Structure 1
C-alpha cells in the first residue's frame, strides 16, 4: 500500500520548465526535420494531411510546425498534383554577431548588401546627427520600443526585422536622396533573402537581444544629444560585432567580404 501523501509537494503537480520544454509545433517540426534528414534533397515526404496525421497534431499546430521547418530551409512545399512536402537542401547561413541568419539560396547577394550597408552606416549617422529633428528622434524611439517588445516573445527574427526598421528610419533623416535610396534598397535585399534568425549556440537568445537593443538605444541617445564622437563609436561597434564573418552552405565555409 502506498504511503499517504501528507506533504503538499507529494500531491500537488510539480511545475515544469516551460521555457525549456518544446511546444507542440516545435515537437512536430522536429519530426518533420527528422523525416527530411533521412532522405535525399528533393525527395517527397508526403502530403500535408499525411504528415499531419503522422505527427498526430491539429491543422493549426501542423501549419505552425511547417512554418518553422520552412524557415530553417529543411522542407519545401509544392502545390498541385504530385505536390506536398519535399526535403530541401540546408539553407546557407550568414553569421550575424551572436546569431545566425538562415537564407534562401542567394547568400552572395546578402553578403554584398551587408558589406555595402556597413560602409554607408557612418554617412547616415553623420546626416542624422546634423539633421534629425525632435520628431525624427521620437520616431526612432518608437522603433526602439518595437524592438524591445519583441524581446518578450524571444523572437530573434522579429527582433532583427525591427532592428532593420530602426535603421531605415535613421536613413529617412538624410537629405541625400541617392544615399537614402541606395541604403533602403540594401536593407530590402537583405530582408528579402532572410528566412529566419537563430541564436548562436554559445550565446542565449535573450542575451543577444538585450545587448543589441542596448547598443541601438545608446545610438539613438547619441543622435538626440548631437554627440558626434559617441554616435560614430557606437556605429563602428555595431558594424564590427553585428555582422559577422562567415557563410555556411552545407559543409562549405567561406569568408564574407567586409
Structure 2
C-alpha cells in the first residue's frame, strides 16, 4: 500500500484500481463483497460505499447487489485501462519527477479546455474548493486534500477523456509524494500555502472569465511554481 492520497474513499478507490491492474483482473472478475472490503480495510460502510460510487463513476467496477454480489471488474474502456496501467507504475522519486513532467505537459490543455467549456455550476464548484483551501489555513493535510479536489474538478470540465485520465493519474502520483515530503517541514507552511493558494486563485479566475490567454498564463505560473521540486498539486 502506498502513502494515502487525500480522502479515505479516494484512497480506497485508488487501491482497488491498482489491485485490478496488478492482479490482471479481467472484465467480470469478482473483486470483493462490501463486507469483505470492510473486514480487509477496517473502514466503515459509508467509506466503502463512497469508494464504490467513485469506482462506478470512473467505469472501473460494477456493483452487483444481493447474494453473490459485490464489486466486479467492469467492461473496461480504453480510458479506464489507461488509468489502471498508470497505477501500476512503481512509485519513487524518479517516477514522481516523470509524473511532474507529464502533468506539466497536460496542464495547459486541461486548464484551457476548462476555460472554454465551463458552466456556471462548474465555477460554483471550483470556488467552493478554493474556499476549502482558504479554510484549511496552516493545516497542510486539509490544504492538500482541497487542492487535489480542485484539480480533479477542473479536469472534470474537460471534454477530453484521455487527457483527464492521464492528468489525474499524474496528479495522484504527485499528491502522494507531496503528503510525505511536505509533512517533514511545516516551519514555513503559512507563507508557502498562501503562495500556493494565490496560484490556484489565478487558475480559477482565468477559467471563470473563459480567457484562453489568461488560462495559459495561469498554467505556466503553476508549472513554474513547482519547477524547483516536488510541491502540492
**TM-score category of the 2 structures, normalised to the smaller one:** 0.5 to 0.7
- Answer 1 or 2: which has greater strand percent: 1
Give the alignment's TM-score, normalised by structure 2. 0.54
Per-residue deviation at 1:125?
A: 1.0
Corresponding residue number in structure 2 for 1:117: 103
Map residues 91-106 of structure 1 onto 2, 5 A cutoff: 106=92
User: Does the CA contact (< 8 Å) of 1:131 and 1:174 recur in 2?
Assistant: yes
Distance 1:227 1:199, change over 3 A: farther
CA–CA distance in 1 between the matches of 2:230 and 2:193? 20
Q: Does the alignment pair 1:221 with 2:205?
A: yes
CA contact (8 A) 1:157 1:196 kept: no
Distance of 1:132 and 1:146 partners within structure 2: 20
Residue pairs, 1:155-166, within 5 angstroms: 155-166=139-150
Is the contact between residue 203 and residue 219 of structure 2 (CA under 8 Å) also seen in structure 1? yes
Question: 2:153 — aligned with what?
Answer: 169
Quick one: distance in 2 between partners of 1:228 and 1:199? Answer: 37
- The whole-number CA distance in structure 2 between the counterparts of 1:222 and 1:246 is 24
Structure 1 position 145 matched with structure 2 position 131: yes
Q: CA deviation at 1:176?
A: 0.6
User: 2:168 matched to 1:178?
Assistant: no
Of Structure 1 and Structure 2, the greater helix share is in 2
Deviation at 1:157, TM superposition (A): 3.3
Q: Supply the distance in 2 between the matched residues of 1:199 and 1:224 (Cα, whole angstroms).
A: 35
Q: What does the per-residue CA deviation read over 1:99-131, in whole Å, with 9 as the maximum and x for residues that have no partner?
A: xxxxx9711221111111111000001111110
- CA spacing shift, 1:175–1:105, aligned 2, 3 Å: closer
Deviation of 1:212 after TM superposition, in Å, equals 1.3
* Equivalent pair of 2:112/2:212 in contact (CA under 8 Å): yes
Larger radius of gyration: 1
2:132 match: secondary structure? helix
Partner SS for 2:182: strand
Q: Distance in 2 between matches of 1:238 and 1:132?
A: 20
Shift of 1:149: 1.2
Runs of 4+ deviating beyond 3 Å: 198-201
> Which residue number corresponds to residue 118 of structure 2?
132
Cα distance in 2, alignment partners of residues 150 and 120 from structure 1? 27
TM-score by length of 1: 0.50
Aligned pair count reads 141
Shift of 1:190: 2.3
Is the contact between residue 174 and residue 230 of structure 2 (CA under 8 Å) also seen in structure 1? no
Deviation at 1:156, TM superposition (A): 2.2
CA RMSD of aligned residues (A): 2.5
Structure 2's unaligned 5+ residue stretches are 1-89
